[in-house]
Structure 1
């Protein structure tokens, strides 16, 4: 265990859409903090969006690695231990955490900065070119080292490869959790999933684990639809650019779901124009969920009647770390939850541009950076 300042490469975004790989310095952990040697980090659409967040900024919010040093008061973690990083860091004390909604922690989202449990590491903990630098989601996993609050970490089994485990911290949790925790899919339910990338494939996995009877995968890319079937989809619909107001798509989903629409319809494309489409795919009294976090202009013509439909935008699959991560790990161990086949591409840190290109073009289901 190192007790001094360490340095290593990291991806630094400038806020204008550009990034460089350069060394940063990371201080030893303070009370309640842990320094992690990152081994692998998942690449997500959110990371691409973060290129234009106020910079400079250490990118990355999905990651796994080994505990490198622990601060005063940290219990249950020791040097060398493999860990998963969780970007929605619960304080355990704010209004939302007390209500059991850890993913909405008001201190993580900076609505409440009073009292114990702030999600940030101590000020100036990470520096670039001699000046303090912020880390995305208080993590910054596109880096050799990350200094985080202990609450951000979950222990991992030693036999689980870290370049698979890292994606549990966002894509898997968001997709599976949206299906299991938020929609609460029941055995025999019908499900439609729009978008079969990293999150959408995990919605499909969650629906399969929950026992859904019909799972309709929808995407523009045939290879993604083939993968969706491997992950549990019972039907696949390839979309076309000439679908007039999505009428054909809506009709096909209804034809597969008793003529009424799906019990649960999910949007996982990240395209704002599609954010409300689940309302047309869900039956009356059903659930329409926008799980991609799409931002931007989106409209919906009220040509259909939406009786008693619930529109939800779940954050992080309703994650409660102490409940959900052990359950996900159990499902992995039992062979119910697939990780290895999700990771289609692996890249060194200095090939992040290629990872973004493959992701945006639909060539990858999930890309991972090998940091160590």
Structure 2
């Protein structure tokens, strides 16, 4: 079995042979069918996300359950599943108030790269070195072992690469609109960054009934895609000042009701803020590098009543939202196929990263 592994930050990703650990009472073994490649994965390679190494990358995947632990109740062998990057305990304060994405146990169970009972990595390379898993799943591997709560059953008529997209890009973008911002019909929305997540913000804003949806990006091909997903207007972000000016022109001189930053760059959060009307809302979705600082004009907090919202995994409820999104796709209400701009073999993972970094990729997917 092979997996894409980061051994050292700022070094190429290695595709290595590995062995998977035993399946515990509440674990499942999943044969991965497809996995997306996300900027967060690359942030581990660059060192911007200081996760433990070596680590199997990938947190946006789907596959088929091959083995279940003795106490598993949520799925069975043969089930098609989407892998969730977050897990929830169901009993903490945040879970009980409907915010499982902020489960207080999740940080302890996800970001160390393993949620095994003994805290040790589940996987090991051919030299016996333990391999951590991104979000305790590591979907850029042919097989993985994870807690059953990370494996969300879905109908088996959904193609694997489509299902994989609902595990992060589709889930994060749509949930940020529906669950976090709660975009209102007739409102104006700016989306800064029209990649895989941003395109889903756009199509969700359209589904929510926003009347003006403005896609902002550096690249003409991404802007073209944004239009196909429901953007009513397009702005090429050649300078912050010019972009803000165009946004105000497109919103009757008032600014936007909502601005979503979907890149993870502090300057773009500031740009989103400057695009708002009074009482407007910024939703900061993009994952910023550890230590990054975003600066905003303090006086505007008390003079404009603008709001800055953080957003973890779209403020999603994976166990209910992923099946909902899959069903929306099956009913023709959600576009997912057009998100996938490139397909790769696992051995081509470094080329897939290059494609992502050149800025023209919406979503690349590794198909097993």
User: TM-score, length-normalised on structure 1?
Assistant: 0.91
Alignment of 1:114-133 (within 5 A): 120-122=115-117, 123-128=120-125, 129-133=127-131
**Counterpart check, 1:33 vs 2:31:** no
| Preserved CA contact (<8 Å) 1:94 1:112 | no
CA distance in 2, matches of 1:24, 1:322: 29
Match of 2:314 in 1: 317
CA distance in 2, matches of 1:102, 1:93: 10
| Preserved CA contact (<8 Å) 1:87 1:138 | yes
**Counterpart check, 1:298 vs 2:294:** yes
Residue 105 of structure 1 deviates from its aligned partner by: 1.4
CA distance in 2, matches of 1:124, 1:190: 46
Alignment of 1:142-221 (within 5 A): 142-221=140-219
| Preserved CA contact (<8 Å) 1:121 1:147 | no
Residue 218 of structure 1 deviates from its aligned partner by: 0.6
| Preserved CA contact (<8 Å) 2:74 2:149 | no
Match of 2:269 in 1: 275
Structure 2: gaps of 5 or more residues: none
| Preserved CA contact (<8 Å) 2:114 2:132 | no
**Counterpart check, 1:358 vs 2:355:** yes
| Preserved CA contact (<8 Å) 1:37 1:68 | yes
Q: Of residues 46, 49, 54 in structure 1, which corresponds to 2:43?
A: 49
3-state SS of paired residue (1:277): helix
CA distance in 2, matches of 1:124, 1:341: 36
Residue 29 of structure 1 deviates from its aligned partner by: 1.2
CA distance in 2, matches of 1:329, 1:111: 26
> Number of residues paired by the alignment?
356
| Preserved CA contact (<8 Å) 2:300 2:306 | no
Residue 97 of structure 1 deviates from its aligned partner by: 1.4
Greater alpha carbon shift after TM alignment, 126-135 vs 220-229? 126-135
Structure 1: gaps of 5 or more residues: 1-7
Match of 2:260 in 1: 266
3-state SS of paired residue (2:85): coil
| Preserved CA contact (<8 Å) 1:178 1:317 | yes
Q: C-alpha deviations, 1:115-157, integer Å up to 9, x for none?
A: xxx9713434322222332111111111111111111111122
| Preserved CA contact (<8 Å) 1:30 1:71 | yes
| Preserved CA contact (<8 Å) 2:265 2:288 | yes
| Preserved CA contact (<8 Å) 1:28 1:69 | no
Match of 1:4 in 2: none
Residue 303 of structure 1 deviates from its aligned partner by: 8.8
Residue 325 of structure 1 deviates from its aligned partner by: 1.5
CA distance in 1, matches of 2:248, 2:196: 25
CA distance in 1, matches of 2:298, 2:24: 54
Q: Of residues 44, 54, 68 in structure 1, which corresponds to 2:66?
A: 68
Match of 1:308 in 2: 305
3-state SS of paired residue (2:52): coil
| Preserved CA contact (<8 Å) 2:114 2:122 | no
Match of 1:3 in 2: none
| Preserved CA contact (<8 Å) 1:15 1:56 | yes
User: TM-score, length-normalised on structure 2?
Assistant: 0.92
Match of 2:3 in 1: 10
CA distance in 1, matches of 2:273, 2:350: 35
Greater alpha carbon shift after TM alignment, 282-291 vs 104-113? 104-113
3-state SS of paired residue (2:304): coil
Q: C-alpha deviations, 1:207-240, integer Å up to 9, x for none?
A: 0111111100011100111100000000001121
CA distance in 2, matches of 1:363, 1:281: 24
3-state SS of paired residue (2:207): helix
Residue 28 of structure 1 deviates from its aligned partner by: 3.0
Residue 111 of structure 1 deviates from its aligned partner by: 8.7
Q: C-alpha deviations, 1:54-107, integer Å up to 9, x for none?
A: 311111111100001000111241212110000011121223212221111121
